[in-house]
Amino acid sequence: MAVLKVHGSPISTATQRVLVTIIEKGLEYDLLFVNLAEGEHKREPFISLNPFGQVPAFEDGDLKLFESRAITQYIAHDYASSGTPLISFEKMPVMVNWMEVEAHHFEPVASVLGWELVYKPMFGMTTDAAAVEENEAKLATVLDVYEKRLGQSKYLGGDEFTLADLHHLPYLNCLMGTPTKKIFESRPCVSAWSQDILARPSWAKVLDLQKH
Amino acid sequence: MAVLKVHGSPISTATQRVLVTIIEKGLEYDLLFVNLAEGEHKREPFISLNPFGQVPAFEDGDLKLFESRAITQYIAHDYASSGTPLISFEKMPVMVNWMEVEAHHFEPVASVLGWELVYKPMFGMTTDAAAVEENEAKLATVLDVYEKRLGQSKYLGGDEFTLADLHHLPYLNCLMGTPTKKIFESRPCVSAWSQDILARPSWAKVLDLQKH
């Protein structure tokens, strides 16, 4: 079996999404560091791996992929018998529905809040308070839907932890270090769910990679 | 076999995405009209089907889904033996990668252009020229990647028409009636691909539904 190759950076949320999937699966991998500060993701040889000039890129033997959620789905399906299942074959359509919710309702809002509250201060830029207020209101509406769903099943896709939950980890973690965490904490089912999935040992290992 | 139920409107791009999938599959369906002008999508009974208050919602017997791309994937997988395959089992990871490109690179830009150039004028609102300029520049960058890809294979996922192409149809059609079409037409492979997929009889049937 080829060792999986992840080209990226442990500070990138999309790279984190791929790494936590591989670690949940207990698979061997090499993390090939792409220096974002030096713009390595915007030039060759990297853009031959990801033509949009964004991390990560992924290789498994001859197969090359670059969208983080396509990579996680490939790993979950093609290494189905290793580690945590991460997909529910029985409830696949429902799991996919909630994966789409993450992509089209959660991330567009969470990524703006992450940019304003975490990444802009990190780069010495000024947070736009109006953008924070607007997106916190949108997030509250999204999490009201999550609260109802998580009152019916322990995880978004059903009673097992799947990619539908896992895909949230990078931005959940990012926002838990900001005042926006109150929007999660004020909803009991959302709060229990986010604490549960953030406590997975695989996620601690991803965070550890940022220390090196 | 239960008749599939689609709750939505033929003017909604997400509803169109589901309808063209069902028509490609040759399946029977009922389109249950949701009156967007009267806000039926924002109240019961509709929001019990889609908690985000957006069309479409979908039922196949007891199964209820509401994210358009989750619905198309369900139909393509669970009705694999009917009509057009729409998925490439052999090249699944690559097809999924390009489905993710549509969702995260094409639609975020195309939907802003569609809003500014088609829907705002329809509602008597003023188009924001700066937003158009900014998003046309982004679209050009995205379509440069498509041009290279479509120089290598006839369709995005490989040599067959799949969901990776189909998911583009609603916004492709929308933008082809605006000045933005020049960005597609100036790229030979993108132009041939968009003409090819817009000419599918299934798409003509979706457009016909808007006349009733």
Is the pLDDT reported for residue A137 higher than 90?
Answer: yes
Of B65, B99, B105, the CB nearest to A93: B65
Q: Which residues lie below 8 Å from residue A126, measured CB to CB, with a gap of 6+?
A: A120
Mean pLDDT for all residues in chain A: 96
Give the amino acid at A108. P
Interval A126-138 mean pLDDT: 98
Is the pLDDT reported for residue A140 higher than 70?
Answer: yes
> pTM here?
0.97
pLDDT at A88: 87
Is the pLDDT reported for residue A1 higher than 70?
Answer: no
Interval B33-53 mean pLDDT: 96
pLDDT over 90, % of chain B: 95
Nearest to B146 by CA among A62, A72, B154: B154
| Token pair recorded at residue A113 | 């809040």
Q: pLDDT class for B88, splitting at 50, 70, 90?
A: confident
Considering just the CA atoms, what is the radius of gyration of chain A in Å?
Answer: 17
Chain A interface test: which of B67, B68, B105 (most A C-beta within 10 Å): B67
Model ipTM value: 0.96
Domain locations in chain B as residue ranges:
4-85, 91-204
Query: What fold does the segment set B91-204 form as a domain?
Result: Glutathione S-transferase Yfyf (Class Pi); Chain A, domain 2 (1.20.1050)
State the distance between the two ends of chain A, measured CA to CA, in whole angstroms: 27
Query: What fold does the segment set B4-85 form as a domain?
Result: Glutaredoxin (3.40.30)
Asked if B195 contacts B186 with a C-beta cutoff of 8 angstroms, the reply is no
Of B65, B70, B93, the CB nearest to A74: B93
Least confident window among A37-41, A208-212, B10-14: A208-212
A51 touches chain B (CB under 8 A): yes
| Token pair recorded at residue A152 | 């019916």
State the angle between helix axes of B188-198 and B129-150 in degrees (0 to 180), rounded to the nearest 10. Answer: 90
Largest Cα–Cα distance in chain A? 50
Interval B102-106 mean pLDDT: 98
Q: pLDDT class for B212, splitting at 50, 70, 90?
A: confident
B42 touches chain A (CB under 8 A): no
Chain A interface test: which of B100, B148, B156, B167 (most A C-beta within 10 Å): B100
